Amino acid sequence: MNADSILRELAQMARPVSASAAMRPPGPGCLTAAQMRQLAGGGPTPEATLLCLTEHVPRCDRCWSLVCVVLGEDTAPDPEADGAIDRALRRQVARLPEAPAQAMERSLLTLVLQWLPGPDAAQPLMAGAFADEDETPPMRLLVEERDLPLRLRLTSPEGTPRFAELILSAEDGSGSLRLQADSAGIATFRGPAGAYLCRVEGYGGPLLRREEG
Amino acid sequence: MLLPAGILQLQLHVEPMSTRPEVRAIGTALREEWGSRAGIVELLSARTGWVSEFQAFAAILQYVVPGDLPDREARALAGRTRAVYLPSVGALANGALLAGATRAPLRESMEQPALAAQAVLHLTHELAGHGALAENTAMGRSHERAARRKDAVSLACRCLPLAESLAAADDAFGRESERWATFAEGWSRWITHRLRPRLAARLPHLGEQLLSARPSLSQAAQDEQSRALIRRLAACGSSDPQAFAAAWRQAVGPSPDARLIRASGLALFDELEALGGPEACLQAVHDCCSDADGIAPHLLILQRVQERLSRVH
């Protein structure tokens, strides 16, 4: 499914366009300025944007109105969206500032493997500190709705581990799922939001979160 | 914090923690628990620091652990070591690992109650446990006096060297560290559990977290295993150190598991407490560490456990 087909389906919605709603600041999960530009410009649409179109836009007045205005005649006609409003909103979209780097990176979390699996080597034993936990604690990952879809990038001081498998176990015990990283070490997590314990298949070393920027 | 020259040359940043309320509470809890007995009160002057960079903590371990530890294995070890005690230096918290990040500044990290409580428990384990043995016992001090820093650190850090490096290392050190690990871990875990209520009273904002951390089911299973191990060792009934060491190796296998070491150590002290109350544990530390040349601490404990078992059965 591509953006055009999703938009054609959206156009069937009999939902009014509101100029004031379109002017509102983005909330959690809203389309970003960059995503709006992608849609307006055509071309390939990232999965994250497609997901936003199918799951978020139909129930968000702000994003729905923006999509209607930016895509013009392809969307449902609305008496409110006369030419003046249309032009004003188009200018508004054109003036949307570039999203700050931090916000753009929020959906990309870098996990650092400090020791890659390799030829098994004996290691000195250190009977750990306060010992109510396993040797290497799994990393706790708190995923909010606005972070989704969350891309998890695996890296290590030795390089990018390719095709690694991430295991995310829901902290409430409701289940677990496996994510396959691609050749760039990136795996995409689509939810649901919640607290997860994260580990990498076949890797027993520390897995730490690295803040970008 | 005064770090050894070798570590200072690494230009690592350690944030001092000694004046923080969390660390002062550890000293107060110790004083309330033991008073000035056994010299434990001397620990109150121990320094404490927070290492916020994961790589920095790995570099410290690389410096202090005997043998040549490659970078990746130092990182793996740092990923399992939440805190460490360096004799005559103090306790260092692996802040990054505690926070699950490659970098975790002290101030921001300690604002999170769950993280702060974990840090308090780990530092208690280091200061009241390993620090007490390293600084306040003849055995611990003898290594320091002999300027065998790595040996002293290893004993305090309860580090068992690699079998290969053990062959090349000082035989006496190897034997001693093997005997020492269970005892030191047992004492450190026991005293940490014992101090929890006092720590919670001193740090009410962390009280719930300090008291709620409980051994996991798997840990409970390990404890049960370790009690079985003690019974097997007791059954060997030998007072000869070499025979005991052979029985120990046979019982735990060629590559002793760190969790088993901790669990069996705690079981030893649990047995002691059941025998003679908390005073018996303190007395065991005094007895076992009074010989600067190092006796086999297990033998003394084992003897007492045997006595108890003989009364039970």
pLDDT band at B283 (very low <50, low <70, confident <90, very high): confident
Per-residue pLDDT tens over the stretch B36-89:
664 554 555 567 899 999 999 998 888 777 667 788 878 888 888 888 887 767
B181: amino acid identity, one letter = A
Structure tokens at B166: 């053990």
A121:B219 CB<8 A = no
How far is the C-alpha of B304 from the C-alpha of A115, rounded, in Å?
Answer: 43
Higher pLDDT: A177 or B305? It is A177
Closest of A128, A134, A109, A106 to residue A26, by C-alpha: A106
Q: Who among B79, B83, B219 is closest to A132 (CB)?
A: B219
Average pLDDT estimate for A156-179: 89
Query: What does R_g of chain A's alpha carbons equal in angstroms?
Result: 22
**Residue B66 confidence (pLDDT):** 63
Chain B residue whose CA is closest to A109: B101
* Residue A188 CA to its chain's centroid (Å): 8
B54:A121 CB<8 A = no
**Residue B278 confidence (pLDDT):** 86
Place of tokens 């070490």: A185
- Does position B20 have pLDDT exceeding 70, yes or no? yes
- Residues of A at the B interface, defined by Cβ within 8 angstroms: 112, 114-116, 118, 121-137, 139-140, 157-158, 204-211
B101:A206 CB<8 A = no
Query: Highest mean pLDDT range out of A155-169, B136-150, B210-224?
Result: A155-169
**CA angle A121–B72–B6, rounded 5-degree value:** 115
Pairing relationship of beta strands A108-113 and A150-155 according to DSSP bridges: parallel
**Residue B6 confidence (pLDDT):** 63
**Residue A39 confidence (pLDDT):** 73
Cβ A113 vs Cβ A155: under 8 Å: yes
Q: Which residues pair with A170 in a beta bridge?
A: A196
Chain A residue whose CA is closest to B216: A132
Q: How many CB atoms lie within 10 A of CB A176?
A: 12
Closest of B191, B209, B180, B2 to residue B87, by C-alpha: B2
Q: Is the omega angle on the peptide bond into residue B197 within 30 degrees of 0, that is, cis?
A: no
Structure tokens at A86: 């249309």
Per-residue pLDDT tens over the stretch B233-253:
666 655 565 665 566 656 655
Q: Who among A129, A135, A206 is closest to B75 (CB)?
A: A206
Higher pLDDT: B245 or B194? It is B194
Widest Cα–Cα separation across chain A:
74
Higher pLDDT: A164 or A82? It is A164
B310: amino acid identity, one letter = S
- Does position B297 have pLDDT exceeding 70, yes or no? no
**Residue A165 confidence (pLDDT):** 92
Closest of B197, B164, B175 to residue B69, by C-alpha: B164
**Residue B207 confidence (pLDDT):** 92
A211:B96 CB<8 A = no
A129:B118 CB<8 A = no
**CA angle B149–B151–B153, rounded 5-degree value:** 65
- Does position A42 have pLDDT exceeding 80, yes or no? no
Average pLDDT estimate for B132-140: 70
Q: How many CB atoms lie within 10 A of CB A193?
A: 15
Pick among B52, B63, B80 to test the A interface (most A CBs inside 10 A): B80
**Residue B239 confidence (pLDDT):** 57
Summary mean pLDDT of chain B: 72
Average pLDDT estimate for A87-97: 51
Residues of chain A with C-beta less than 8 angstroms from the C-beta of B96: 208
- A14-18, B5-9, B110-114, B198-202: least confidently modelled range: B5-9
**Residue B169 confidence (pLDDT):** 47
- Does position B171 have pLDDT exceeding 60, yes or no? no
Pick among A111, A112, A113, A114 to test the B interface (most B CBs inside 10 A): A114
Place of tokens 């990498």: A200
